[in-house]
Amino acid sequence: MTGMDGRDTDLKKELDATLHARRELGEEYESALVESFLEKVDQRIDGAVERRVRRQLAEQQMAAARDTRAPGGTDSWGERYGFGIVSLVLAIPLSGIGGGVANLPGLLIAWAGIVGVNVVQAVRVNPGLFRRRGRDGQDTWEG
């Protein structure tokens, strides 16, 4: 077989030995030999799965330690853009109510609330939104 690594070669040798033992011992030992071989395959699979899980866990821990995830990495497209779309849809009746009850000041208050809610959402999704780097490399607030 081409492209086999050492573990696959070992497993092939185990299978060859099991088949040879079956020929030597006869059919009465066949189920015991097959069971023994399958146990070795099962151990091999368990070991491979365990290594993968440990590697993925280590990668996740390293990413969390470095905080390398992108800003807003846990939010979905729907959360980011859906919030803005819903606020714009709700802006229509809020503008009508605010403008109808208190004319221009009511309209301005309604839109200040809409903008404020969207700014809070944007900062929640992207915590460094209003920060900039100073000459010394430190975060500073724009203002």
Using a cut of 0.85, tell me whether the model's pTM lies above it: no
- Alpha helices by DSSP H, listed for the chain, are 6-25, 30-66, 77-125
Alpha carbon of residue 16 to chain centroid = 42
Q: What is the pLDDT of residues 4-30, one digit of tens each?
A: 566 678 888 988 998 888 888 888 888
Q: What is the pLDDT of residues 72-84, one digit of tens each?
A: 455 567 777 788 8
Whether 69 and 63 have beta carbons less than 8 Å apart is answered as yes
* Residue 29 DSSP SS3: helix
Residue with tokens 């077989």: 1
